[in-house]
Amino acid sequence: MSKKTLSIIVLLIIALIISLIIIDFIGKSSDKRGENPYDLDVDQYKLVDSSLIRYRETKNFPLGDRLPGAIDVYNGLIYLGVEDALLIITPEGLQKKSIPLTGKPESIRVTASNIIIAYKNEINVFDSSGKLLSSWKVDNERTIITSVAVKDSLLFVADAGNRRVLRYTLDGKLLGEFTGKRESTAGHGFIVPSANFDLVVNKFGELWVVNPGEHSIENYSDEGELRGFWTKNSMEIDGFSGCCNPAELAVMDDGSFITSEKALVRIKVYDPSGRLLSVVAPPEKFLDQGHAPEVAADSTGVIYALDFDRKMIRVFEKTDDPQKN
Amino acid sequence: MEKDKSIKRREFIHTGLRLALGFSLAGVAVAAGRKSTAEKWVWQIDPAKCTQCGRCATECVKSPSAVKCIHAYDLCGYCDLCGGYFKPGVKQLETGAENQLCPTAAIQRKYIEEPYFEYVINEDLCIGCAKCVKGCSSFGNGSLHLQIRHDRCDNCNECSIARSCPSDAIKRVPASQPYLIKGEFIKPLKG
């Protein structure tokens, strides 16, 4: 074999080896793989019939570096709790006032005469000017306060860590508690698999508590006696799915409920009996596997969502044309 | 004169060889010493970056994969309706294979008290496909997550799954802290 032939053979072998290495590298690059044989198709549950979406996002207020904690809307003003302050903001997004806080609140409720701020295991009651009137701790190491609601002089506190609702006066006197358990077999009491346990008092003075493990919204007397409930356990758009939904709840002046769900994040409106009225924001509006936005509504029905993942207040208004969302 | 020169050249070569051998041994000894004292690194999955693509099951050189599902019990809601255990939309919350999300039935559902259940991973059956992780993250608290188990991993120089991971979730971590576990406690890990 001549020297020239040998050289050609060696060069061909080297070229072949380099080609194999390149083909192997390209073939195994992350974007050249086939379909996942173990895929769980979650996207199918994110699809929402556009005719059901009767709200559109009209504006939003990015919070920058501020850490969102809680939101409420009262008398046309937005009350936003961040890491160290309560910001009072106009619907146009202008900050009107700031009240210093000792930490990031878990829940805010504003009434005609009071602002109630709840931390993980502490309640602060301010007057409307921001003067602290009373403050107390819930003395239990498992306590995780997730929501508060006011009815006249009563304060209801949702304690997710102990799966109970506490009832206080506004100056901190404990009047009682209940866990939703009852003698009948209808229900297990509150099932709270995560720190998502919300409650509201509507304009008619009715206390409604989310039972997230049951996917139900339950109406209780002030003393904790179950008076009624509705349940929507379904993967369909009119139901709730997952471990603990609805994660957040708000109520409109007509008694309709605004629900916000975690994981498969979406916001919907139900009538007081549990019939789906509208989708406010479908999952495509939020990050995958995100946190449930906290929701609030003003007297005109405008819905404010505190998006924890995108760190912004998002404003949704009703539209007559479902296609223009 | 010629003989003397020859002897000197031979001595020079012998001396050179002895020195080369000596330096080599010393080099090996130093390298071994440094290796024994330097930090060792291992591969691990960052759960915050994992997108449950399924490649941990198909790309690992081990069969079944050295990637296993880990359960962060302090994050778990012990739900009756577990998004990591049941297929979405099942009619009955029963343990029949047709209801289970896991393709190898590697998750055991244990009754605790009404209505709470504990979910335990059988690592011998788990293939690291992340189907349960996606279900748990999509519908639950995200307590199920993947980790490379170091009693099974060969710690290859070039990790096959790290190379094919679409989200760069697999990285080198110190062997002294070999796991990137969610939450604060899990069942004790071997390896």
Binary contact (B142, A289; C-beta < 8 A): yes
- Show the domain range for B15: 1-38
A241 touches chain B (CB under 8 A): yes
And the tokens for A10?
């060696």
Distance CA B88, CA B137 (A): 13
Co-location of B51 and B136 in the same domain: yes
The 10s digit of each residue's pLDDT in B49-95 is: 999 999 999 999 999 999 999 999 989 999 888 999 999 988 888 89
- Asked whether the beta carbons of A65 and A83 are under 8 A apart, the reply is no
| Chain mean pLDDT for chain B | 89
A5-34 in b/e burial notation, b at 16+ Cβ within 10 A? eeeeeeeeeeeeeeeeeeeeeeeeeeeebe
Distance CA A277, CA A274 (A): 9
Q: Could you state, in chain order, the average pLDDT of each consecutive group of 10 residues for chain A (325 residues)?
A: 84 90 68 79 92 96 95 97 96 96 97 97 96 95 96 97 97 96 71 95 97 94 94 92 94 97 94 97 92 96 97 94 60
Alpha-carbon distance B89 to nearest alpha carbon in chain A (angstroms): 6
Binary contact (A40, B52; C-beta < 8 A): yes
Total domains in the fold of chain A: 2
Total domains in the fold of chain B: 2
* Paired residues of B42 in beta bridges: B173
- Show the domain range for A22: 1-33
Co-location of B68 and B115 in the same domain: yes
Q: Order across the sheet with A207-211: list the strands.
A: A199-201, A207-211, A216-220, A226-231
Co-location of B19 and B5 in the same domain: yes
Asked if residue A324 belongs to a domain, the reply is no
Asked if residue B21 belongs to a domain, the reply is yes
Mutate to test the interface with B, among A28, A41, A241, A243 (most CBs of B within 10 A): A243
Confidence of residue B21 (pLDDT cuts 50, 70, 90): confident
CA distances to A111, A113, A231 from A74, rounded to whole Å, are 7, 11, 29
Co-location of A232 and A118 in the same domain: yes
Co-location of B23 and B53 in the same domain: no
Sign of CA dihedral B72, B75, B79, B82: negative
- Asked whether the beta carbons of A282 and A318 are under 8 A apart, the reply is no
| Residue A280 CB-density burial (10 A; 0-12 exposed, 13-18 middle, 19+ buried) | buried
Co-location of B145 and B75 in the same domain: yes
A75: left (phi over 0), alpha (psi -120 to 50) or beta: left
Across the interface, of B77, B88, B134, the residue whose CB is closest to A45 is B88
- Asked whether the beta carbons of A185 and A204 are under 8 A apart, the reply is no
Binary contact (B166, A289; C-beta < 8 A): no
A15: left (phi over 0), alpha (psi -120 to 50) or beta: alpha
Co-location of A130 and A107 in the same domain: yes
